[in-house]
């Protein structure tokens, strides 16, 4: 697999059986240093891939494709080529039943986009599952997803403020 520091997709990752439901994995790291030091951090590409593959095995899913946005912020989905490719595939091919992510924040850190993505997946008959177990399709799980999306958006905002400095630091 090539790592072009932005977006990549790979085909035929793991096919335990022809009758297994098909899934795609979406992996995102925000910082390029996570790409360069992959494997050293829990949230690096290799760690996310491994956790997603483990969940696929537990659920009896066959991973047929992997979409990676490396060095991309989770604030806006428009600048993430791999995410856009995955969404187009789901819309056009109707060939997967699950999207696997490490955790919801890897998909998006924007609560409005999270709600829109979940609605798109639901309309396409695709279930979103997380390796961390933080996503569930039950009404309670959907409520928790909404709350987590709001928290993720706040965390992103807080990280941006820290990068820019606060009024107290000026």
Instruction: Domains for the chain: give ranges and CATH numbers.
Output: 7-169 (3.40.50.1390)
Q: Indicate the SS3 state at residue 4.
A: coil
pLDDT (0 to 100) of residue 16: 47
Write out pLDDT tens, residues 142-168.
666 666 656 655 565 555 555 554 334
Highest mean pLDDT among 73-82, 92-101, 158-167: 92-101
Report the percentage of the chain scoring pLDDT > 70.
60
Can you give the C-alpha Rg of the chain in angstroms? 16
Kindly tell me if the per-residue pLDDT of 23 is higher than 70: yes
Q: Indicate the SS3 state at residue 13.
A: strand
Write out pLDDT tens, residues 98-153.
999 998 888 888 888 888 898 899 899 999 999 987 666 666 666 666 666 566 55
Residue 29 phi, psi (nearest 5): -125, 140
pLDDT (0 to 100) of residue 20: 86
């Amino acid at each position: 697999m090539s790592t072009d520091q932005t977006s990549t997709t790979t085909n035929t990752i793991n096919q335990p059986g022809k009758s297994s439901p098909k899934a795609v994995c979406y992996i995102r790291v925000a910082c390029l240093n996570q790409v360069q030091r992959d494997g050293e951090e829990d949230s690096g590409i290799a760690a996310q891939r491994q956790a997603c593959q483990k969940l696929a095995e537990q659920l009896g899913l066959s991973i047929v494709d992997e979409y990676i946005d490396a060095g991309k912020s989770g604030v806006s989905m428009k600048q993430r080529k791999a995410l856009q490719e995955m969404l187009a595939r789901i819309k056009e091919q109707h060939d997967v039943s699950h999207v696997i992510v490490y955790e919801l924040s890897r998909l998006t850190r924007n609560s409005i986009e999270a709600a829109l993505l979940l609605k798109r997946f639901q309309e396409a008959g695709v279930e979103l599952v997380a390796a961390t177990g933080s996503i569930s399709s039950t009404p309670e799980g959907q409520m928790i997803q909404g709350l987590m999306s709001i928290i993720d958006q706040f965390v992103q905002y807080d990280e941006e403020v820290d990068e820019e400095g606060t009024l107290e630091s000026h």
